[in-house]
């Protein structure tokens, strides 16, 4: 790596926010130095400015916005996470906000206003041009989380009998081509999309070639009310770059591009990850009280299941009084089961989301999980059996520990795979609450197997 | 929703694999009916064929490949997960494999061969045309997981003094434009990229306009040895569609497009999710023994930490013998701590990955987690205190339970946020093993606080 390369890399890193830059911005705000603030923010991408606003404190944010005020870019608003966005939008003077929003594409306006209170929403929409307002209101009629909310309405279409020369002339003459487009959508006279042609392909083809001859194999339409989770899956699975969106009559109403799908895809994986941990749509900038409320339900479920496990333990109070080593050792078996179950569960939840786990291979995967549980169970049974024997000098105690370990890791594998499959079959989200089910099973089985075997074999 | 819409949606779903289609394919294989097999596979996207191959059993796969053999498409190979891909590539006759691979773009060949054994790799590369082989060998000199491995080498470049008419004429005349490209990269005479121009923009602009006037604001180059995780972050953060890749001298060597970045992004989130659950690059088609080996290390760590927790409990054996209710109740406090810690940990790991948690707001986030832990701690202390009192009729036992709960949820919040921050500062992956650290802390603190307080206050 040469010096020039290092310099370039660091420069590249400078583009992102770093602590020094944030310090410089905050000290400009504190000094009330508007020129310096604007000079510092000007080279930053809107997404970085939004990140910076999220990372500073509320009072710093207020001061910054006041000083920066009339320069704010609406793109920054669409990059903010919701909590901070609401705060910033409330802090901006009405006229400024309206001016900012008028600069946005309609799909960005939809994103911005869809979660506002109705009066706020109406107020903001009233500030748009008539055409834009109608477009936004139309988009808002589609269900939340649907393709209709995600799509842009601006598309470039052509009939299939056109040739390359005709579409190039058409685009040349067009007043307002969409800001972003990668394909020409080929439509029939009823505006049903029948194929698409990549821009790059048009560039390299002679003017007399028919567009119909250039259409890609990989063409799919998206129903306007399809859940965006399925949209993102299709983009990822089929390496799509853009896809036409059609209404219930199969007519073109818009287009979704890969950059929108990419954000949805990341959100969906993150949602699975969060749900497995018992989190609900939490943002880092949420206040303490909101965060507490959002995390409470999962912890409450866990309290309930922990009490269930304690009820199981209570059945063996006498056994434990006789052999206190049981109380010392019993969390080990339960804890191992919880971890093994979570491993299987995480694999299963992702495999269902990516459609890698289907009825076609479910039985094979279940069998694999059982065998993995059994194998790891035997290995850890030997280890923990020896530990128990050495620690308490009781060979039979080691045997009981080992047997309980095998049983619980087997059950962990089974529960980890069957719970999400069952939730999916019932139409529920496999990630939601499956963690609670699985660890409840492994806790209860872990305590019951260990203490039950001990009661039978050691007393 | 009208009937026609439902029909369309179902048809759309038919494109994906479903159990009926897989059954039909397998029965064609069993009947040895090649024509039917080919007819069933022909309309499927390569990604769906790959999924199907992953979901059927090994012997079914062998029979299918034998019957389908000479029709296999190399794209299917690049869609397969690694374990199955190796198996399929070994099963294919050498000549067939070479023919298939020759059809691929060089970046797909790189993806296919980078994990092969050196002799296998050499064998396969020997079958490529000289130009392609050199290109692939060049790509393989870049570090694993770097931009150089991900990029495609085919680009369209133009000097900044060209106008729209010139670039269109140039593309018309070009022999082999890249299959996929969204931008023209503007370079200086030394082949340093200085900007890019969207294809769509060129389409809508008069021929005499200079390309230099059409360059996007949002232009960034990617160093060829940059980790693809950072590449994916940049694409997502800055809504990039394609970006030129440069060598250590800043010269253009290739281009990365958003579809590649999208896959990396999904992989990275999934990796975080898996690491939190103690999983390592596992595939659903991995055999039992490989899966067991991959899951073993995390479970071994957990066994060790569970034994540590038992050592803590052992210190209070006499206390438990005196009051057996302690043994019954003690898992509750530890379990709640583990869950609360995992919630905080999951939030922190994602926030570090998306660069939302930085030195600028770390203190504020730590404070928030402490307060959330404290608040939930107080709420659950009251609940569990009452439960303990009612269950065992001992008010002081309830007080001890409640105090231990507050302490452990506070520690859970602290550990959940500080462990990943510390790992990140040390240059380690915040997701790796943080789960083990955090639950070790909450187990030990949970048992110690509850039993220790009980020893002090109840005996």
Residue B172 tokens read as 């018309």
Judged by CB atoms closer than 8 Å, whether chains meet at B177 and A203 is answered as: yes
Look at A372 and B295 and tell me if their CB atoms are within 8 Å. Answer: yes
Six token digits for residue A401: 């520990």
B343 at interface of A, judged by CB pairs closer than 8 A: yes
If pLDDT is split at 50, 70 and 90, which confidence band does B91 have?
confident
Residue A175 exposure: Cα atoms within 13 Å on the Cβ side: 0
| Fold: same for B17-145 and B157-276 | no
Q: Which residue in the set A47, A263, A306 is minimally distant from B238, CB to CB?
A: A47
- Where is A103: in which H helix or E strand? none
> What value does the mean pLDDT take over residues A352-368?
91
Cα separation of A260 and A153, whole Å? 13
pLDDT at B12 over 70: no
Q: Closest to A5 (Cβ–Cβ): which among B248, B330, B376?
A: B248
Q: How many helices (H) and strands (E) does chain A have?
A: 22, 6
A120: which residues sit within 8 A by CB, 6+ positions away? Answer: A89, A113
Q: Determine the distance in angstroms separating the CA of A129 from the nearest CA of chain B, rounded to an integer.
A: 24
Task: Residue A243: name the closest of B15, B48, B74, B214 by CA.
Answer: B15
Task: Mutate one of A47, A76, A204, A334 to test the B interface: name it (highest B CB count within 10 A).
Answer: A204
**Nearest-CA distance from A143 to chain B in Å?**
12
B321 in Cβ contact with B430 (< 8 Å) = no
pLDDT band for A110, please (50, 70, 90 cuts).
Answer: confident
A12 Cβ contact partners less than 8 Å away, ≥ 6 residues apart: B220, B221, B222, B223
Q: What is the ipTM of this complex?
A: 0.89
To which CATH superfamily is domain A157-272 assigned? Answer: CBS-domain (3.10.580.10)
Contact call for A279 and B347, based on CB within 8 A:
yes
User: Rounded distance, CA B282 to CA B288, Å?
Assistant: 11
- The answer to whether A122 touches A96, Cβ cutoff 8 Å, is no
Over residues B238-261, the mean pLDDT reads 93
What is the pLDDT at residue A343? 94
- Element housing B195 (H / E): strand B193-198
* Mean pLDDT within B411-428: 94
Instruction: Report the distance separating Cα A180 and Cα A153, nearest Å.
Output: 11
Interface test with B, best of A262, A364, A447 (most B CBs within 10 A): A262
Q: Please measure the distance between the N-terminal and C-terminal CA atoms of chain A and give it in whole angstroms.
A: 70
Greatest extent of chain A over all pairs of C-alpha atoms, in Å: 93
pLDDT tens digits, one per residue of B160-183: 999 999 998 898 888 778 878 889
CA separation for the pair B318, A328 (Å, rounded)? 11
Homologous superfamily of A15-141 in CATH?
A: MgtE N-terminal domain-like (1.25.60.10)
Q: Cβ of A371 and B4 within 8 Å?
A: no
Residue B345 and residue B419 in contact, taking contact as beta carbons nearer than 8 Å: yes
Hey, are the CB atoms on B204 and A236 less than 8 Å from each other? no
Average the pLDDT over each of A92-101, A243-252, B318-327 and give the range with the smallest value: A92-101
pLDDT at A11 exceeding the cut of 70: no
Strand partners, A186: A158, A195
| Pairing of the two strands B252-257 and B242-246 | antiparallel
Q: Identify which of A56, A46, A34, A41 has the alpha carbon closest to the alpha carbon of residue A78.
A: A46
Q: Is the pLDDT assigned to residue A9 strictly greater than 60?
A: no
Task: Report DSSP letters for B125-186, one per residue.
Answer: HTTS-HHHHHHHHHHHTSPTTBHHHH-BS---EEETT-BHHHHHHHHHH-S---SS--EEEE
Task: Please write the tens of the pLDDT for every residue from B93-132.
Answer: 877 788 888 878 778 888 888 888 888 888 888 888 888 8
User: Which among B82, B112, B114 is positioned nearest to B97, based on CA atoms?
Assistant: B112
Residue B252 — pLDDT band, cuts 50, 70, 90?
A: very high
C-alpha to C-alpha distance for B169 and B157, rounded to whole angstroms? 13
The arrangement of strands across the sheet holding B242-246 comes to B222-223, B242-246, B252-257
Q: What percent of chain B has pLDDT over 90?
A: 63
The per-residue pLDDT of chain A, averaged, comes to 89
Closest approach of A295 to chain B, Cα-based (Å): 8
pLDDT at B128: 85
Give the total residue count for chain A. Answer: 459
Indicate the pLDDT class of residue B16, thresholds 50, 70 and 90: low
Give pLDDT, residue A16: 63
Q: Which residues contact A399 (CB under 8 A, 6 or more apart)?
A: A385, A457
Domain boundaries, chain B: 17-145, 157-276, 288-457
With beta carbons less than 8 A apart as the criterion, state whether B336 and B405 touch: yes
User: Helices in A239-316 by DSSP H: which ranges?
Assistant: 258-276, 288-314
**Partner B contacted by A90 (CB < 8 A):** no
Interchain contact, B331 vs A306, CB within 8 Å: yes
Cβ contacts of A198 on chain B, cutoff 8 Å = 180
Residue A2: the pLDDT is: 36
A82-91 helix and A58-68 helix, angle to the nearest 10 degrees: 50
* Residue A181 at interface with chain B, using a CB cutoff of 8 Å: yes
Q: Report how far apart, in Å, the C-alpha atoms of B357 and of each of A57, B342, B363, B417 are.
A: 13, 17, 10, 10
CB contact under 8 A, B19 and A358: yes
Phi, psi angles (nearest 5°) of residue B247: -85, -175
- CA B260/CA B177 separation, integer angstroms: 19
Question: What span, in angstroms and rounded, lies between the C-alpha atoms of A204 and A208?
Answer: 12
Residue A5 pLDDT greater than 70, yes or no: no
Pairwise CA distance, residues A397 & A385, whole Å: 8
b/e map of B332-370 (b: 16 or more CB within 10 Å)?
Answer: bbbbbbbbbbbbbbbbbbbbbbbebbbebbbebbbebbb
| pLDDT tens track for A25-82 | 999 999 999 999 999 998 889 999 999 999 999 999 999 998 987 777 888 988 998 8
Residues near A320 by beta carbon (within 8 Å), at least 6 away in sequence: A313, A326, A327, A451, B320, B324, B327
Query: Please, is B278 exposed, middle or buried when counting C-beta atoms within 10 Å of its C-beta (0-12, 13-18, 19+)?
Result: buried
Domain B157-276 CATH (choose: 3.90.25.10, 3.10.580.10, 3.40.50.2000, 3.20.20.210): 3.10.580.10
Q: CA dist A219 to A194, A199, A365, B80, B178, Å?
A: 8, 15, 32, 22, 19
Was domain A288-457 assigned CATH 3.40.50.2300? Answer: no
Chain mean pLDDT for chain B = 89
Strands of A252-257's sheet, edge to edge? Answer: A222-223, A242-246, A252-257
Q: What sections of A188-243 are H helices per DSSP? A: 199-203, 228-238
Question: Average pLDDT in the B3-24 region?
Answer: 57
At A181, which helix (H) or strand (E)? none
Q: pLDDT above 90 covers what percent of chain A? A: 62
> Between residues A250 and A239, which one has the greater pLDDT?
A250
Evaluate whether A220 touches A193 at the Cβ level (below 8 Å).
no
The percentage of residues in chain A with a pLDDT greater than 70, rounded to a whole number, is: 96
Q: Which residues have CB under 8 Å from A314's CB, separation 6+? A: B328
pTM equals 0.89
Q: At what angle do helices A118-125 and A130-140 cross, to 10 degrees?
A: 150
**Domain spanning B17-145: which CATH class is it, in words?**
mainly alpha
Better-scored residue on pLDDT, B272 or B204: B272
List, for residues A263-294, the tens digit of each pLDDT value. Answer: 899 899 999 999 999 998 888 888 899 999 99
């Amino acid at each position: 790596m040469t010096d020039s390369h290092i310099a370039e890399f660091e420069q590249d890193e400078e583009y992102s926010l770093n602590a020094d830059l944030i310090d410089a911005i905050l000290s400009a705000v504190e000094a009330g130095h508007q020129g310096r603030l604007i000079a510092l923010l000007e080279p930053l991408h809107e997404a970085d400015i939004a990140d910076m606003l999220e990372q500073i404190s509320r009072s710093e944010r207020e001061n910054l916005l006041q000083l920066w005020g009339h320069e704010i870019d609406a793109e920054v608003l669409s990059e903010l996470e919701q909590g901070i966005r609401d705060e910033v939008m409330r802090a901006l003077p009405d006229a400024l906000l309206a001016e900012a929003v008028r600069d946005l594409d309609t799909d960005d306006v939809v994103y911005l206003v869809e979660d506002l209170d109705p009066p706020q929403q109406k107020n903001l929409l009233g500030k748009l041009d008539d055409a834009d307002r109608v477009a936004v209101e139309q988009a808002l009629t589609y269900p939340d989380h649907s393709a209709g909310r995600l799509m842009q309405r601006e598309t470039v279409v052509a009939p299939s009998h056109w040739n390359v020369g005709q579409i190039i002339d058409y685009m040349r003459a067009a007043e307002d081509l969409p800001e972003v487009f990668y394909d020409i959508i080929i439509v029939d006279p009823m505006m049903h999309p029948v194929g698409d042609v990549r821009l790059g392909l048009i560039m390299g083809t002679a003017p007399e070639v028919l567009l119909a001859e250039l259409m890609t194999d990989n063409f799919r339409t998206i129903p306007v009310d399809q859940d965006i989770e399925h949209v993102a899956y299709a983009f990822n699975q089929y390496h799509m770059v853009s896809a036409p969106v059609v209404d219930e009559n199969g007519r073109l109403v818009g287009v979704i591009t890969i950059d929108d799908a990419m954000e949805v895809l990341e959100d969906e994986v993150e949602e699975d990850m969060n749900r497995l941990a018992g989190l609900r749509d939490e943002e880092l900038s949420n206040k303490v009280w909101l965060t507490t409320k959002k995390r409470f339900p999962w912890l409450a479920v866990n309290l309930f299941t922990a009490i269930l496990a304690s009820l199981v333990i209570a059945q063996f109070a006498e056994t434990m009084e006789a052999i206190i080593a049981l109380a010392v050792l019993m969390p080990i078996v339960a804890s191992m089961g919880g971890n093994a179950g979570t491993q299987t569960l995480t694999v299963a939840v992702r495999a269902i989301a990516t459609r890698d786990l289907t009825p076609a291979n479910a039985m094979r995967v279940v069998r694999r999980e059982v065998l993995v549980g059994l194998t790891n169970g035997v290995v850890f049974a030997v280890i923990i059996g020896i530990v128990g024997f050495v620690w308490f000098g009781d060979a039979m105690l080691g045997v009981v520990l080992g047997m309980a370990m095998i049983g619980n890791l087997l059950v962990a594998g089974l529960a980890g795979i069957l719970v999400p499959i069952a939730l999916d079959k019932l139409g529920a989200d496999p990630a939601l609450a499956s963690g609670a089910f699985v660890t409840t099973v492994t806790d209860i089985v872990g305590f019951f197997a260990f203490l039950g075997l001990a009661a039978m074999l050691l007393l």
